[in-house]
Structure 1
Amino acid sequence: MSGITDEEKDELLLSCRYGDLNDVQEFVKKHGQSALAVRDENGNTILHMASGNGHIELLEYVLPLVPPSLLSAQNESKSTALHWACINSHLPVIQKLVQFPNGPGVDLIDIKNAAGRSPLAEAEMAGWYEGAKWLVQVMNLDDGAAKEDEEEAVVEPSAQDIEVEIQDADGQIARMSIAHPDQALPPGESTAS
C-alpha cells in the first residue's frame, strides 16, 4: 500500500463511514483495489464502516474488490463488520455480508467478539428480532453435534425415555425428552383421566 498517506487512508475510512461512494470510487481509481484493505487505529476496516452505518450501495461496490478474508476481519474488540451491522439493525447489509458468493458465508455468524458474543447474540442484545430471525434461518446448525447426541441416545430395550441435547452456535443447550416407542400409547389412547 505504498503511496497512500495516512490522510488518504483516514479519508477513505470516513468516506465509507458516511457512504460517499464517489470518493471511494475515486480512491480506487487512484490507488487500486488492493489499497482498500486499510484499518483505522482500532482495527476497523472499510467493511466495518459501511456495514455499521447501513451503506448497502457502497458495500455492493467494495465487496467484489476486497479480499474475501476482509469479511471476517475482526477489530480490536474482535467484532466483524457483521457484528456492527447487527448492532445497528441493518438487514440488507447482514444479508449481503452473509450471502456474498466469495466470502465465508454463514460461518460469519459463529465468530465471537471479545465479549463472547456472535453477531446473532448482538442482534438479540439490541432487541433486533427481525435480524436475529434471519440469521437463525440461514445459520449452520451443527449437524455433527446433533448426530453425536443421537448416537449417544441409543435406546436400550429397558429404556423409558430418550434425552437429547442440542447446542446452538452461542453454546446454549436445548434439552428434550422423547418417549421410547415401546412406552408410547396406542393410537387413540390418551393419558388424560
Structure 2
Amino acid sequence: MSPAKPTQEDKEELLLSCRYGDLEDIQVFVNKFGSEPVNDIHDDTGNCVLHMVAANGHAYALDYLLSVVPPSLLSAQNDAKSTPLHWAALNSHLSIVQKLVQFKAGPGVDLLDIKNAAGRSPLGEAENVGWDEGAKWMVEVMNLAEVKGEDEDQVVDSAADIEVEIQDAEGQIARMKIGQQTPKDP
C-alpha cells in the first residue's frame, strides 16, 4: 500500500518545519508520506526544503534531508536561480556551506559555479555580504585545476602560494593568496 498523499497544508507545514529547523516534524512528514513528495515541494518563489534549511542554518535538518532527497536537489534553483548554497552563503552559515559542497553523493565544488539571476555565484553572494570566512573557504576548495590558460601544461608546486583573482558583485577585482604560510624571520 502506498503512503497517503500530502495536502497543500501538509506541504506548507513541511516548508515551515524546514525553515524553523523542526527536525521532528520533518521526520513525521517523511514517515507519513514517504520521501518522494519532499522532492517536489516548493514555496511560491520556488524554494525547496533544502533552500529553507540552508538559508536558516539548520544543520541537523540538513543532515536528515540529505539522507532522504536525491542529490540533484542540491543544485535546485528557485525563481531567482539561487541554489540552497547561495542562501547559505548569503546568510553566512559556514557549516551548511561545507555540508552542501562536501556531500559525497552531490555535485561537490561544481555547486560553486552556479550563478543566480543576478549573475552571482555562491562565492559572489558571500563577497556581496562581506562574509570573508566563507569566501575564503570557498576559494580554498574551488577546483582551480579547471582554470586554463597559456601555461596549461605547467606543473604547479603545491608548496607555493597560488594567487587568485575574483570579480565581486560590483565588478571589482579581489586578490587572494592560497597556500602554505611560511614563517617570517624575526
Asked if the contact 1:141/1:169 (under 8 Å) is kept, the reply is no
Deviations 1:111-142 (A, max 9, x none): 00000000000001111000000000001115
Asked if the contact 1:68/1:102 (under 8 Å) is kept, the reply is yes
- Say yes or no: does 1:72 pair with 2:79: no
User: Which one-letter code corresponds to 1:119 in the other structure?
Assistant: P
**1:159 match:** none
SS at match of 2:14: helix
Asked if the contact 2:54/2:84 (under 8 Å) is kept, the reply is yes
Aligned length: 160
97, 101, 125: which one pairs with 1:98?
Answer: 101
Q: Which structure 2 segments of 5+ residues have no match?
A: 153-163, 175-186
Q: Residue 47 and residue 129 in structure 1: after superposition, are their counterparts in 2 closer, same or farther (change >3 A)?
A: same
**1:113 match:** 116
- How far apart are 1:2 and its partner, in Å? 7.2
Task: From the CA coordinates, give the structure whose radius of gyration is larger.
Answer: 1
- Say yes or no: does 1:86 pair with 2:61: no
Q: Which structure 1 segments of 5+ residues have no match?
A: 152-165, 175-193
- How far apart are 1:143 and its partner, in Å? 3.1
- Say yes or no: does 1:13 pair with 2:2: no
Deviations 1:43-74 (A, max 9, x none): 10000000000000100111021011100000
Q: Which runs of 4+ in 1 moved over 3 A?
A: 166-174
Deviations 1:147-193 (A, max 9, x none): xx226xxxxxxxxxxxxxx876979889xxxxxxxxxxxxxxxxxxx
For residues 72 and 172 of structure 1, what CA distance do their matches in structure 2 show? Answer: 27
21, 28, 37: which one pairs with 2:30?
Answer: 28
For residues 2 and 40 of structure 1, what CA distance do their matches in structure 2 show? Answer: 21
For residues 86 and 55 of structure 1, what CA distance do their matches in structure 2 show? Answer: 13
For residues 143 and 19 of structure 1, what CA distance do their matches in structure 2 show? Answer: 36
State the TM-score, normalized to the length of structure 2.
0.79
- How far apart are 1:4 and its partner, in Å? 1.4
- How far apart are 1:97 and its partner, in Å? 0.2
58, 61, 69: which one pairs with 2:61?
Answer: 58
User: Which one-letter code corresponds to 2:62 in the other structure?
Assistant: L
The equivalences for 1:41-52 within 5 A come to 41-52=44-55
**2:129 match:** 126
Asked if the contact 1:142/1:168 (under 8 Å) is kept, the reply is no
State the TM-score, normalized to the length of structure 1.
0.76
